[in-house]
Structure 1
Amino acid sequence: MEIEEVIKRGILHIINENEKEKFSMGEVNDHLISNVIISERMDFREIFSRAKPILRELGLDWYGV
Structure 2
Amino acid sequence: MGHWPDSNPFGARRIDGIRVTGEVVPALRRLEVTHTDLAKAVSDHLPVTVTYESADLA
Structure with bigger RCO (C-alpha 8 Å, 6+ apart): 1
Instruction: Bin the TM-score by the shorter chain.
Output: under 0.3
- Give the TM-score of the pair, scaled to structure 2: 0.24
- Give the TM-score of the pair, scaled to structure 1: 0.23
| More strand per residue | 2
Q: Which has the larger radius of gyration?
A: 2
